[in-house]
Amino acid sequence: MKNNNEQRPHAILIPYPLQGHVNPFVHLAMKLASKGFTITFVNTHSIHHQITKTKPDGSTANGTDDIFLEARQSGLDIRYATISDGFPLGFDRILNHDMFWDGVLHVFSAHVDELVAKIVHSDPPLTCLIADTFFVWTSVIANKYNLVSVSFWTEPALVFTLYYHMNLLTSHGHFACHDKREDAIDYIPGVDPIEPKDMTSYLQATDVTTVIHRILYKGYEDVKRVDFVLVNTIQELESNPILALQENQPVYAIGPVFPTNVTKPIVGSSLWFESDCTQWLNTRPPGSVLYVSFGSYAHCTKNDVVEIAHGLSLSKVSFIWVLRADIVGSDEVDFLPVGFDEEVKERGLIVPWCCQMEVISHQAVGGFLTHCGWNSILESIWCGVPLLCFPLLTDQFTNRKLAVDDWKIGVNLCDKKLVTRTEMAAKINRLMCGKSGDEVRKNVKEVRKVMENALSSNGSSEENLNCFITYVKLKTVKFHKITA
C-alpha cells in the first residue's frame, strides 16, 4: 500500500491572491483530485480570511475553516493550507496596491518555500508544484525540492503569447519605447495581425517600470523554465497561438476548468457574501434580464458608474447589477446618481456580489454587460449568454478582441475612451432586443458547441488534461527513482 501511495502524484496548488485566479485553481484542484491526485491547496491568510468572513457564522459553509472539507468527504484527497502574504490581515491591499504587489514579488516566495519544505515528505510525498504564471519563483522552488514544475495560466493563450514575446514587441518598437509604433503587430508566432489597442493594458502602457511590469518580466523569464504550462482555454478556439507555444515547451489547453454540471460549487471560494437573486429572476420573462458585473478586481471611475446607471435607466431593460462596495475605490462610497434606486426599483436589482454562474445560467438572463474578464467570458459561452463588452484593464482588452472580433459573441459598448448614457442605452437595447443581439446569441451557441466537444470524454481539453497527467506520473516515477 505504501508503494502505491508513493506513485500517487501529490501536487501543491498556489493561486495568485485574487478572486479571478483562486476560482480556476479551485476547479483545477477538483479535476486533478478526481483523476487520482493528492492535492495540497494553498491560500494566503488574507484570502482565506475574506472567504470565511463572508459566511454568516464566520466560517465556511461546512462549519470549519477548511474550504475543501465537503470535497474530501466526497472521496477527493484535497488538503488545505494557508500562508502569509507578508502583510497583516488589516492591511488595505487595494489602497496600498503597489506596496502589496511589491511584497508579493519579493517576500511571498519565502513563505511558499517554508511550506513546501514542511510537506515535501508527507504521505504521499509531494511531487508536483502548480503555481500561477504571475508568480516569479515556480521553477526555482520546484527545482530546489525536485518537483515537477507547472505554470497554470488562467487567461487566454493569446494573452500568454503576447507576454511571452515581450522581447519581440520591444525590439519592433511596439512596447517599452518612447515613440511606440501604432501599426498592426504581425510578427508574433501564432498570432494573426493584432492592433496595439487590442493588447493588454500593461503592454499598452507608457510607464513600464511599475511593479506589475516587474512581475511580468520576471514571471515570463521563469515560465520558460517550467516543465509544463496549463492554459484555461479551448484548443480549437486558440489553436494557432497554442501550436506556436508548443514549439518551445509542453503547453496544454485544458479549459474551461469550471464544473459544467453544477451552478453552485461545493467549495466556497467567494471573497464576498453572495446575494441570492433566484427569487427575483423567477419573476422575469425568459431572456429579459441584463446581468451587469465588472468582476472582482477592476475599478471604474465615478463618471463611468454614473453614465452606466443613467444608461440602464434610459434603456428600460430589466437588470441585475453587481456593484462592489469598492468598485470606484476603497474610500469612495457614494457613487450612484441621486434617486437612481427609486427610479429603477421595479425592474432593477442591485447587489454587492452573487454567484455568477447561478445567475447567468438562469433562463431570465439574456445578456451580460461585462468587463471581459476571462472567467466571465468562458462562463457566458457555457450559459449561452451574449456579451456587451466594456474592458477596463489588464487582459480584458485582448479578451474583448476575441469575443467581439474573432468569435463574434459580443458587442462593443463604446469605441471611444468615455462611455455615454445614450450610447449605453442604445447598445443595451441592441443586444437585448435587436437583430444584432440575435446574431451574437446564435454565435454564442456555436462557440458553446466547440467548448462542449472539447470537454467530452474524447475532446481536446479532456485528452490534453489526461496527457499532462500521464507525463506528470512518468516524471513522478523518475523523480522517485532519483531520490530513492
DSSP result, 43-92: EEHHHHHHHHHTSTTSS-TTSSS-TTHHHHHTT--EEEEEE--SS-TTS-
Q: What is the pLDDT of residue 261?
A: 81
CA nearest to 91, candidates 57, 38, 135, 44: 44
Locus of grid cell 496549463 = 230
Closest CA to 183 of 199, 169, 168, 194: 194
Spell out, as residue ranges, where the chain has pLDDT lower than 50: 1-6, 58-63
CA distances from 119 to 129, 285, 469 (A): 12, 53, 21
Output the pLDDT for position 363. Answer: 97
In whole angstroms, what is the distance from residue 128 CA to residue 165 CA?
27
pLDDT of residue 476: 75
Do the beta carbons of residue 122 and residue 207 sit within 8 Å? no
- Amino acid identity, residue 103? G
13-29 burial, b at 16+ Cβ within 10 Å, e below that, comes to bbbbbbbbbbbbbbbbb
Residue 101: C-alpha distances to residues 96, 300, 371 (Å):
9, 20, 22
In contact, 129 and 116? CB cutoff 8 Å: yes
Q: What is the pLDDT of residue 64?
A: 59
Q: Determine the Cα–Cα distance for residues 373 and 69; give it in Å rounded to an integer.
A: 29
Residue 43: the pLDDT is 97
Quick: pLDDT tens for 116-139: 999 999 999 999 999 999 999 999
CATH superfamily of 10-261+457-483: Glycogen Phosphorylase B; (3.40.50.2000)
Beta strand 289-293 with 387-389 is unpaired
**Gap between the Cα atoms of 251 and 156, Å rounded:** 12
pLDDT at 437: 84
CB 91 within 8 Å of CB 107: no
* pLDDT attached to residue 388: 97
Distances (CA, A) of 89 to 44, 247, 274, 434: 10, 43, 22, 48
Q: Is there a contact between 211 and 403 (Cβ–Cβ < 8 Å)?
A: no
User: Strand locations in 239-288, DSSP E?
Assistant: 251-253
How far CA 267 is from CA of 80, 99, 264, 274, 379, in Å, comes to 12, 31, 9, 14, 17
Summarize pLDDT for 43-76 with one digit per residue, the tens: 999 999 999 988 765 444 444 588 999 999 999 9
- pLDDT at residue 63, as a whole number: 46
CA distance 476 to 99: 38
pTM of the model: 0.94
Residue 267 φ then ψ, to 5°:
-105, 115
Per-residue model confidence (pLDDT) at position 2 = 43
The Cα 3–Cα 77 span in angstroms is: 17
Q: What is the dihedral of CA 335, 339, 341, 346, to 10 degrees?
A: -150
- The amino acid sitting at 441 is R
The boundaries of every CATH 3.40.50.2000 domain in the chain are 10-261+457-483, 277-433
Is 277-433 a CATH 3.40.630.10 domain? no
What does the pLDDT read at residue 475? 78
Q: How many CA atoms lie within 13 A of 330 on its CB side?
A: 7
Is 26 in contact with 267 (CB distance < 8 Å)? Answer: yes
